[in-house]
Chains A and B, each alone.
Chain A
């Protein structure tokens, strides 16, 4: 027994010796050598949000393609990613590893509002770029002055909500809106945007606003949808995450509510989720209105676009296991394209501050002939001064016969 304890202690000492690591070599800029740039990020490859897992390998695929084309200013990108299981505690530990042990130059594409919020202060304390986080939470763009080392990328939820408001003012000025929204930061971002887009004049078009609590589950969604039907609304607006959104579609059909229009936020209104709702008996998925800003691999009308051809080549060569028809892969490639562009813009003498400066002053558009090839024609990526919403233009799309068809021109959810 006594020896047991001694041995255990000896083992601890031994393991402490094993985990000992050599002192890191310090160079002018961490993560940058004459030939390489180290970028890292956390993604939910397992756990509740593992549906987003394809984003990381498709980013890696694009970086491999960029390296094959010569890299960035003579340097090859070394992109590493780990599974945080959507658990912020794991995100924190991995992020400490990236910064303190791997000495990554920058963190790119990190996924999830809560996991990325958990490491935001730390990365800003350490002055390590936290670029293009994979979440639409408005705070990552809006609060740029508090967190100068952090930047989002995709259209933020609030802006998207505003776009629905503007669309309604213009095209459905007499519609009676019944709004179902998830009672958390995410749902509230959307709702705030919708109200802003409607303007005070049209705010009265909302005849009923029903929150639901994600925890309570399907019962909460059902109660809310029943109230919306009773309110006499003819347009169903859904601001929820995928699971409750699918439930809302099914419940509406079950209780015999057939609203003339359905507007659903883009996170939940994807081909995959709407197909599930249809298969489970919803008859109101057809005609769903949402937004998009990227080329859509599931819609054949984009097959001739140069960006789509390039995307399919990259997927075939560098991520053959990935499903190229899944829009999440295109999202990853589009984001990686943007990372490469800001690295280029940051110049040969690469520093973290230089990278942030490049990211804070982006102008990639058709006009300047350097638009992101994977976005819809005309979508620009723009940041300058106090305007830090990289992608803010979207187009409305309507779900018809299992494909999203674009409606008209681009709309901007933000001033620019």
Chain B
């Protein structure tokens, strides 16, 4: 992407972010705050999965690490919640790096299976040290309210906090992936042998990508704890890790802008679209939409449909439409190239 137009797109996003709360109810604003939070997590996971080609089924746990860091600092040490965010990111980032160093010995599906251990052991650890984490019963944070003398509805407040962080982290990610470092990431994804031949330490790059992605997820987790005002092991189930990966895939792995779609999906499928779809299904004869687990069936169906219609995710679909609309030369139809942003 040419920088100038990238900045224009970013400026438009900023406008959308500024306008959205004034045309949305407080509840929708609260939901959009979660979209911002998930966007941060997805940008992080995209650096690992989309750009470096390493699949992780465990990044929900790094959100959990960030969330617990924020909670413990606020509740036990009296920190202001906003100041805990960098620490939440750092603690999760270090945890990610610590996991990334040995995990880079695995490749492909083996790595995915290894990462599956992260949320499992995270939940186990939470329950193992109840005096620190609150165990199964979890811990409560203070009610959400605006700070620094700003008088705002709590939903609007968390919306601004989340999106300011999200926009800043989007810029940071853009700066990270467009230069030398980004090329190194992509070269590891596309061919480890070629990357090594060019003097890139593939193991080092993978471990660093792990750390950065975990940092993003930890930051998102800290905001998540502020918004939910409660953490316990059930708040960070294995489903969350899977949902994050689904968000990256649906948004379009490798595309920064696509993560917006992913984040919208992650937030709205669970709370809004899923139940609405279930309502529709329940009108079909002999379908018991109330049956346990039926919501999971809906996610599965949606995922399959999207992957059939748009194998490269939402960003890929947009690319195809743009290519089809702008190109009348028959030979230059949307080649299945991998996005370079």
> 1/0 per residue A182-206: CB within 8 Å of B?
0111100000000000000000000
Q: Is A244 positioned at the interface, with any CB of B under 8 Å from its CB?
A: no
The residues of A that contact B239 with a CB separation of less than 8 Å are 85
Q: Please state if A5 and B1 are interface contacts (CB–CB under 8 Å).
A: yes
Q: Please state if A7 and B258 are interface contacts (CB–CB under 8 Å).
A: no
Q: How many residues of A contact B (CB 8 A)?
A: 59
**Known contacts A5-B257, A12-B16; A100/B30 CB under 8 A:** yes
Which of A1, A45, A82 has its CB near the most chain B CB atoms (within 10 A)?
Answer: A1
Q: Is B311 positioned at the interface, with any CB of A under 8 Å from its CB?
A: no
A94-B290 Cα distance, complex, nearest whole Å: 17
**For chain B residues 227-267, which have a beta carbon within 8 Å of chain A?**
227-232, 234-235, 237, 239, 255, 257-258, 260-261, 264
Q: Is B147 positioned at the interface, with any CB of A under 8 Å from its CB?
A: no
**For chain A residues 13-65, which have a beta carbon within 8 Å of chain B?**
13, 15-17, 19-21, 23-24, 45-48, 50, 53, 57
**For chain A residues 115-152, which have a beta carbon within 8 Å of chain B?**
115, 117-118, 121-122, 125
Which of B25, B34, B275 has its CB near the most chain A CB atoms (within 10 A)?
Answer: B25
The residues of A that contact B319 with a CB separation of less than 8 Å are 1, 4
The residues of B that contact A50 with a CB separation of less than 8 Å are 292-293
The residues of A that contact B20 with a CB separation of less than 8 Å are 16
Q: Is A213 positioned at the interface, with any CB of B under 8 Å from its CB?
A: yes
Q: Please state if A2 and B2 are interface contacts (CB–CB under 8 Å).
A: yes
Which of A20, A24, A85, A88 has its CB near the most chain B CB atoms (within 10 A)?
Answer: A88
A285-B339 Cα distance, complex, nearest whole Å: 62
Q: Is B61 positioned at the interface, with any CB of A under 8 Å from its CB?
A: no
| Candidates B1, B24, B32, B138; contact of A2 at CB < 8 Å | B1
Q: Please state if A93 and B30 are interface contacts (CB–CB under 8 Å).
A: yes
Q: Please state if B137 and A9 are interface contacts (CB–CB under 8 Å).
A: no
**Known contacts A6-B5, A19-B24, A96-B155; A121/B228 CB under 8 A:** no
Q: Which residue of A lies closest to B256 (CB)?
A: A5
* Stretch from B6-14, B43-51, B182-190, B212-220 forming part of the interface with A: B6-14
Q: Is B171 positioned at the interface, with any CB of A under 8 Å from its CB?
A: no
Q: Is A271 positioned at the interface, with any CB of B under 8 Å from its CB?
A: no
**For chain A residues 376-399, which have a beta carbon within 8 Å of chain B?**
none
Q: Please state if B6 and A8 are interface contacts (CB–CB under 8 Å).
A: no
**Known contacts A46-B294, A93-B31, A214-B127; A88/B260 CB under 8 A:** no
| Candidates B12, B124, B235, B275; contact of A9 at CB < 8 Å | B12
A113-B340 Cα distance, complex, nearest whole Å: 47
> How many residue pairs between the two chains, A and B, have CB atoms under 8 Å in the bound complex?
185
**For chain B residues 1-60, which have a beta carbon within 8 Å of chain A?**
1-2, 5-6, 8-9, 12-13, 15-16, 19-20, 23-28, 30-32, 34
The residues of B that contact A316 with a CB separation of less than 8 Å are none
Q: Is A304 positioned at the interface, with any CB of B under 8 Å from its CB?
A: no
A366-B20 Cα distance, complex, nearest whole Å: 56
| Candidates A12, A83, A88; contact of B295 at CB < 8 Å | A83
The residues of A that contact B27 with a CB separation of less than 8 Å are 21, 96-97, 100-101
Q: How far is the CB of B317 from chain A (nearest CB, A)?
A: 10
Q: Please state if B128 and A215 are interface contacts (CB–CB under 8 Å).
A: yes
A19-B35 Cα distance, complex, nearest whole Å: 13
Apart from the given pairs A88-B234, A89-B230, 6 other A-B contacts in the complex at a CB distance below 8 Å: A5-B5, A7-B318, A16-B32, A88-B228, A92-B227, A122-B229
A and B contact pairs by CB, cutoff 8 A, 25 listed: A1-B2, A1-B340, A2-B8, A4-B318, A4-B319, A5-B1, A6-B5, A6-B9, A8-B257, A8-B261, A9-B13, A46-B292, A46-B296, A50-B292, A90-B270, A96-B30, A100-B25, A100-B26, A100-B155, A114-B136, A114-B232, A115-B234, A118-B230, A122-B229, A184-B137
